Structure 1
Amino acid sequence: TALLLFLPGQNLVMAHILLLLLSATCLHTGNSGGYTRKNYFGMNPPAVLSGVQGGSIEIPFSFYFPWKLAKDPQMSIAWRWKEVHGEFIYQSTLSFIHKHFKDRLILNWTQGQTSGVLRILNLKENDQAIYFSQVCLQTTEGMKCWSIPGTKLNITHALSTTMRTPSIITSADPTAGLEDIRGQRNPSLLNLGAMVGMVVAKVVVIIPLYGWMIFLWWKQRPAE
């Protein structure tokens, strides 16, 4: 500050600005030095997933933490459903699987890894719920455990792929259709035959009649 007394005009203004910036930087550094990173832990699950009834689904998870692991970290993964403190459906340390998920849960995770996948097979309608993962590990500061925000699993019904074929009605008598056709054609043939017969009959009757009438007329005409 004493140096500012010896600086002229514009240089004095610039010096004040630099002093203010330096003070702000010092304050920020002081706050950062007093801030603890012990709150920097958590997990990164998907918020919502959808599965098809009868199919399978994978719920991925990963976690992070600031602590130094103990020589034997004793990492373990557990899963609950419905509520964050609900029933356990899986515990890696006890090889426990809830009876509802018997033979349907597979945890793809290896001790020491910070990510994995929970796989649910043969999905059922009542598997629809919220699933919570919990991680526990031994650090140099003691055992630490925390849970993730839940992953909501929606179950949808599978679409039917069966195509309906139109019904075909068959007759026990293979000639039934032919009989019907013949039944439809015969009346026409009969009518045509009858008409021809009537015309022929008229011709046969009318021609001799007209011939007889002409003969009588010729007989009765006056002789020339």
Structure 2
Amino acid sequence: MASVLLLLLPAACLQGGNSAGSNRGNTFGVNQPERLSGVQGGSIEIPFFFYFPWELAKDPQMRILWKWQRFHGEFIYNSSSGFIHEHFKDRLILNWTQPQTSGVLRIFDLKEKDQTVYFCRICLKTTKGMEIFQSINGTQLTITPRKHFPGQSFRTTMQSPSIITSAVTTAGLEDTEDQRNPSVVNLGATVGVVVATAVLITPVYVMLIFLWWKKRPAD
């Protein structure tokens, strides 16, 4: 009965419990960011924090539930049963453990339809019975389309400069692998020229010496 009456309380009354300046010793509420934005295909985190004045039962049976689109909208998550809305299958994780009073809802692979309002609802058992309350305004999530830049697909298929440089360097090494050191090659060429010159000049000098010896006056 207490749970039904609590949900039927006027929004203004519940809003007072969500006010940061109110006396939390006598109030209850759920704090969420008013607005968040994410990029299509990316992920988003919706943090939440809740507070209450009641004494918890030995087994508080805390549950975190999430709704979307409006205050009395569909449930998309239930921490106790593990229920996840079909639209968020494999895309939603709640980072929270009882008896923590804060946590984070993570939504992955954001889609255009995810752009709506999200409400966190708290269920817990006190010494006086079960209590249920949720955020009044929720969190408005805005999804921004992923931008595509001209030539993006071409750039993603190109090799990085370091890889290209490495390939060129390697090719150069392979081409010159069997070649001698340039300085050694130059030295060999020089020696070859000198030897060839000596081979050509030596017979001439020998012939000149022979002719000179033949023409010299006899003693």
Q: How does 1:85-104 map to 2 (within 5 A)?
A: 85-104=72-91
Query: What do the CA deviations read for 1:115-147 (whole angstroms, capped 9, x no partner)?
Result: 000000000001100000100100011111100
Matched residue, 2:56: 69
Matched residue, 1:185: none
1:59 aligns with 2:59: no
State the Cα distance separating 1:163 from its structure 2 match. Answer: 3.3
* AA aligned opposite 1:159: K
Matched residue, 2:30: 43
Matches of 1:112 and 1:163 in 2, distance apart? 51
State the Cα distance separating 1:162 from its structure 2 match. Answer: 4.7
Matched residue, 1:105: 92
1:82 aligns with 2:69: yes
- Root-mean-square deviation (CA, aligned residues, Å) is 1.8
TM-score, structure 2 as length reference: 0.57
* AA aligned opposite 2:134: S
Matched residue, 2:114: 127
Q: Which residue of the other structure, out of 150, 156, 160, is the alignment partner of 2:138? A: 150
* AA aligned opposite 1:156: T
* AA aligned opposite 2:27: Y
TM-score, structure 1 as length reference: 0.55
CA contact (8 A) 1:38 1:67 kept: no
Larger radius of gyration between Structure 1 and Structure 2: 1
State the Cα distance separating 1:39 from its structure 2 match. Answer: 4.7
Q: Which residue of the other structure, out of 140, 165, 171, is the alignment partner of 2:127? A: 140
Gaps of 5+ in 1: 1-35, 166-224
Matches of 2:149 and 2:90 in 1, distance apart? 27
* AA aligned opposite 1:132: F
Tell me the secondary structure at the aligned position of residue 49 of structure 2. strand
Instruction: Say if 1:62 and 1:37 are closer, same or farther in 2 by CA, change over 3 A.
Output: closer
CA contact (8 A) 1:74 1:138 kept: yes
Tell me the secondary structure at the aligned position of residue 73 of structure 2. coil
Q: How does 1:7-26 map to 2 (within 5 A)?
A: none
Matches of 2:35 and 2:81 in 1, distance apart? 28
Tell me the secondary structure at the aligned position of residue 37 of structure 2. strand
CA contact (8 A) 2:24 2:51 kept: no
* AA aligned opposite 1:65: F
Deviation >3 Å, runs of 4+: 36-39, 161-165
* AA aligned opposite 2:147: L
Q: How does 1:25-36 map to 2 (within 5 A)?
A: none
1:160 aligns with 2:148: yes
Matches of 2:90 and 2:75 in 1, distance apart? 15
Query: What do the CA deviations read for 1:139-167 (whole angstroms, capped 9, x no partner)?
Result: 011111100131000000112245378xx
Percent identity over paired residues? 63
State the Cα distance separating 1:76 from its structure 2 match. Answer: 0.3
State the Cα distance separating 1:38 from its structure 2 match. Answer: 7.3
Matches of 1:84 and 1:39 in 2, distance apart? 24
The total of aligned residue pairs comes to: 130
